[in-house]
Amino acid sequence: MANQPIKSKIVKLETKIDGFDHISIGGLPKGRTTLLSGTAGSAKTVFAIQFLVEGIRANGSGGVFVTFEESPPDIKLNTEGFGWEISEWEIEGKFAFVDASPQIGVETIVSGEYDFGALIARVEHAVKKTQATRVSLDSLSAIFNQFKDDQIVRRELFRLVGALKTLGVTSIITAERTQEYGAIGRYGVEEFVADNVIILRNVLEDEKRRRTMEILKYRGTSHQKGEWPFTIMPDKGIVVIPLSAIELGQKSSNIRISSGVSELDEMCGGGFFRDSVILVSGATGTGKTLMSTHFIAGGTAKMERCLLFAFEESREQLFRNANGWGVDFEKMENDGVLKVEARYPETANLEDHLLNIQRVIDEFKPMRVAVDSLSALERVSTIKGFREFVIGLTSFIKHREITGFLTSTTTSLMGGTSITEGHISTITDSIILLRYVEMYGEMQRGVTILKMRGSMHDKSIRQFSIDGKGMHVGKTFRNVVGILAGNPQHVDNNEEIQRMDGLFSDDK
């Protein structure tokens, strides 16, 4: 997906905004002006300020914020929550406001010809005073509102951008647009002001808000195409989620690890691969949570750190369940080999869940990660958003070279696929199916390895039972066909037909 970088003289300035430098392949074009366009509430101002903040934090390079809309005290108040010490940086001479917001209580009449000589002089003065390398202007629309003569404003904006270029600073100008998809700005000139255009969106989709960022144009240099989801973290500001931009450069490991169930390891040809992602799919009650528990117990038995994200059950429920199968989660947590994170899917949107999972993984540094269940998270997202989430999660897990164990609940009791599966089956390395099988008026459970990338595996459907010690895999189902299709039927002594049927139902 990554474009081959085009050879060019345009150097990029790393913004240090999380994820942005990745999708922009290196940051903002240095010494140039980039237009940041978006509807009201699309986080333009946050981006514009964060651009300056990250510069000060990264290498102490000064920043100038030119505001045409909000007053500096309001801006400071609104961004206080992000932990940005703007007032202190002002005193240290690293940050300066150029306050061009409307003055309340001052009657102003405009008549005849004028230019923005004073504004340009003030910006130049502030840049020299703070030795700024970064300048943000917020927003174009507000200056058009202050001065009614569009023609003069246009001409003067070109002069201003020219002055910024002469100063050698890298700058951002924000512009308001009225629609998420349509003209870049209201005044039809915005995109001509800058060589580079970035669009921020805040789209309502299936009653859920989704923020995305798109680099529309980078004149003379390369960038990633398409819309990238981003979120606003309370203590951090904007975080762009590069998802599929993550390179598929992971090493492939041949090391096998135990699933925690010895019969299952045999079925897999010796266990899961160290850096693989395994999906377990089955109806409610088939034993997915049990398998996650085994997976974790298998890791902690070897003193490997394990992380469990639970989105369906509370900590108490999980601990009680595990106890019922002879696994002591509490002791494992006390020993520091396990961390259980139980959350309701509704507590955050999917982007925030992903960032939280990534953060916890990086903090705890586990060897194994289980997510039970992935499908519960589907509730808080759009189909597109969910797909991006799964791609982001699996590629992150593979990047860290750890084992990921994801569960997915199918809607139909006897079989069939869930939406989750359809989305992620191609991304995961291994797929294990758990199914109910009705035999002689009794519900039995069946397990089969549908896919195991890079390894031979058992292709039969095996019976399994659950008791106080967990999961026990037994014999192959004989004389039953159509288990995977969710329609088990008994056949007598006709193994050939059974085998043929089995082959086709594998495609599910």
Partner 1 sequence: MSEIGKDKIRLMLFIVSQSKYSERAIREIHDVCENNLKNNYILQVIDVIERPELAEKYRIIATPTLVRLHPEPPRRLIGDLSDGQKIMEVLKLPVSK
CB of 108 to partner 1, least distance (A): 4
Interface map 84-123 toward partner 1 (x if CB under 8 A): --------------xxx--x-xxxxxxxxxxxxxxx-xx-
Closest separation in Å from C-beta 146 to partner 1: 8
Strands 442-452 and 272-273: unpaired
Interface positions, 441-470, toward partner 1 (CB under 8 A): none
146 binds partner 1 (CB under 8 A): yes
The three-state secondary structure class of 240 is strand
- Tokens of residue 411, six digits: 């809607």
β-strand partners of 237: 233
* Cβ-based nearer residue to partner 1, 125 or 469: 125
- With the C-alpha atoms ordered 291, 292, 295, 299, is the resulting torsion angle positive or negative? negative
Q: At what angle do helices 150-167 and 117-130 cross, to 10 degrees?
A: 20
**What is the closest distance, in whole angstroms, from the C-beta atom of residue 114 to partner 1 in the complex?**
4
Q: How far is the CB of 181 from partner 1 (least distance, A)?
A: 33
366-386 core/surface letters (b: 16 or more CB in 10 A; e: else): bbbbbbbbbbbbbebbbeebb
Give CA separation, 341 vs 160, 332, 380, 505, in Å.
51, 14, 18, 36
Min dist CB 127 to partner 1, Å, is 11
For partner 1, the closer CB: 97 or 329: 97
Residue 263 is a binding residue for partner 1 (CB under 8 A)? no
Q: Which is nearer to partner 1, 105 or 468 (CB)?
A: 105
Task: Rank residues 115 and 335 by Cβ distance to partner 1 and give the closer one.
Answer: 115
String of DSSP letters for 249-304:
-------EE--S-HHHHHHTTSSEETT-EEEEEE-TTSSHHHHHHHHHHHHHTTT-
Q: Nearest 5 degrees, angle CA 14-CA 75-CA 71? A: 125
Rounded Cα distance between 208 and 474, Å, is: 45
Which structure tokens are listed for 61?
A: 């390079």
Which residues are catalytically annotated?
Answer: 69, 312
Q: Which of 126, 198, 261, 369 binds partner 1 (CB under 8 A)?
A: 126
- Smallest gap from residue 97 Cβ to partner 1 (A): 9
Crossing angle of helices 315-324 and 288-300, rounded to 10°: 80
- What φ, ψ does residue 165 adopt, rounded to 5°? -65, -45
Rg (CA), the chain: 29
* Assigned token pair, 5: 């970088």
Give the shortest CB-147-to-partner 1 separation in angstroms.
Answer: 7
Question: DSSP assignment, residue 454?
Answer: T
Task: Restricting to residues 360-389, name those near partner 1 by CB under 8 A.
Answer: none
Q: Are the CB atoms for 196 and 159 separated by under 8 Å? A: no
151 near partner 1 (CB under 8 A): no
Outline where 131-180 has alpha helix (H): 140-146, 150-167
Least CB distance to partner 1 at residue 158 (A): 15
* One of 147, 192, 325, 364 touching partner 1 (CB under 8 A): 147
Nearer to partner 1, 142 or 199 (CB): 142
Q: Are strands 62-67 and 28-29 parallel, antiparallel or unpaired?
A: unpaired
Q: What tokens appear for 333 in the block?
A: 């947590």
Please report how many Cα atoms fall inside a 13 Å half-sphere around the Cα of residue 375, on the Cβ side: 20
Give the total of residues touching partner 1 (CB under 8 A).
Answer: 26
Single out the segment in contact with partner 1 by CB under 8 A; choices: 124-132, 182-190, 259-267, 350-358: 124-132
CB-nearer residue toward partner 1: 121 or 383:
121
* Beta carbon nearer to partner 1, 4 or 111: 111
Residue number, 110 or 303, with CB nearest to partner 1: 110
* 125 part of the interface to partner 1, by CB under 8 A: yes
At closest approach, how far in Å is the CB of 189 from partner 1? 18
Phi and psi at 19, nearest 5°, equal 85, -25
Smallest separation, CB 115 to partner 1 (Å): 6
CA-based end-to-end distance of the chain: 29
In this complex, which beta carbon is closest to partner 1, that of residue 107 or of residue 316?
A: 107
Of 98 and 215, CB closest to partner 1? 98
Question: Using CA atoms, how far apart are residues 175 and 195, in angstroms rounded to an integer?
Answer: 14
> Amino acid letter at 428?
T
Q: How many CB atoms sit inside 10 A of residue 236's CB? A: 14
Q: Are 270 and 458 in contact (CB under 8 A)?
A: no
Point out which residues bind partner 1 (CB under 8 A): 98-100, 103, 105-119, 121-122, 124-126, 146-147
